[in-house]
């Protein structure tokens, strides 16, 4: 009986191992991230684990596939030095109010978010295409909330983008400030925020702050998606 029990355990282990080996890459948390990986906790996990060389390689591929248009920027020194940053000019067919500086993780996560979520959510909720993203900038050498006793903001490393609004294919411009509580646009904006957690979910700076600037802050350094109203 003991021999049979051991054989069953070995067989079950072999079947489990075979199933694991045959998992599609997007279900395997230890396989390399692919640009086509669907959103979810496994993709979020892979984004968090990317090394700088891996991130730059994927960002190059994203440029080649037309998901983003970005160019490397020379490293800078000073109080808030920047290394391996890029200037993002657009997200394919989705244009920007102006280009912005971004760390590789911010640029890559944003390209995936726009391609996989923002465009489809806009068509689903608003029945129009997303054609432009309005923003207030990314890089600023400052502490959180400008407090002298606080840690450096993600903006100090070009790891956060303040998104203030969106333009649709019918010409409408929808700001986060005015659209958040409107019946026709609020659900769409909230869906956008919730979806972004798959890409920026490791950042507590992913917030909507209606009492301040009321903007999306797409940050890349913390532990949970948070909504502050």
Q: What percent of the chain is modeled with pLDDT above 70?
A: 77
Tens digits of per-residue pLDDT, 45-66? Answer: 899 899 999 999 999 999 999 9
DSSP, residue by residue, 160-207: --EEEEEEETTS-EEEHHHHTT-TTTHHHHHHHHHHHHHHHTT-TT--
User: Minimum mean pLDDT among 7-11, 166-170, 220-224: which range?
Assistant: 220-224
Q: What percent of the chain is modeled with pLDDT above 90?
A: 42
> What's the chain's average pLDDT?
79
Average pLDDT over residues 215-224: 36
For the entire predicted model, the pTM comes to 0.79
102 contacts 85 by C-beta, under 8 angstroms:
yes
Of 29 and 111, more confident = 111
pLDDT-derived band at 143, boundaries 50, 70, 90:
confident
């Amino acid at each position: 009986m003991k021999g049979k029990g051991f054989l069953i355990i070995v067989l079950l282990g072999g079947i489990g191992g075979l199933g694991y080996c045959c998992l599609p890459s997007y279900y395997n948390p230890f396989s390399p991230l692919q640009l086509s990986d669907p959103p979810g906790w496994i993709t979020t996990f892979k984004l968090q684990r990317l090394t700088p060389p891996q991130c730059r390689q994927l960002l190059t591929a994203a440029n080649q596939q037309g998901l983003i248009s970005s160019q490397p920027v020379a490293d800078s020194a000073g109080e808030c030095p920047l290394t391996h940053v890029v200037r993002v000019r657009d997200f394919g067919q989705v244009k920007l109010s102006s280009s912005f500086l971004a760390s590789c993780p911010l640029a890559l996560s944003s390209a995936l978010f726009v391609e996989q979520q923002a465009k489809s959510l806009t068509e689903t909720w608003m029945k129009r295409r997303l054609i432009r993203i309005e923003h207030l900038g990314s890089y600023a050498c400052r502490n959180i909330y400008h407090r002298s006793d606080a840690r450096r903001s993600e903006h100090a490393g070009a790891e956060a983008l303040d998104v203030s609004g969106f333009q649709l294919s019918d010409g409408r411009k929808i700001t986060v400030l005015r659209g958040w509580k409107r019946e026709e646009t609020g659900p769409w904006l909230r869906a956008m925020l919730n979806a972004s957690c798959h890409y920026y979910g490791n950042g507590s700076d992913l917030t909507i702050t209606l009492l301040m600037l009321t903007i999306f802050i797409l940050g890349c350094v913390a532990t949970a998606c948070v909504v502050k109203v």
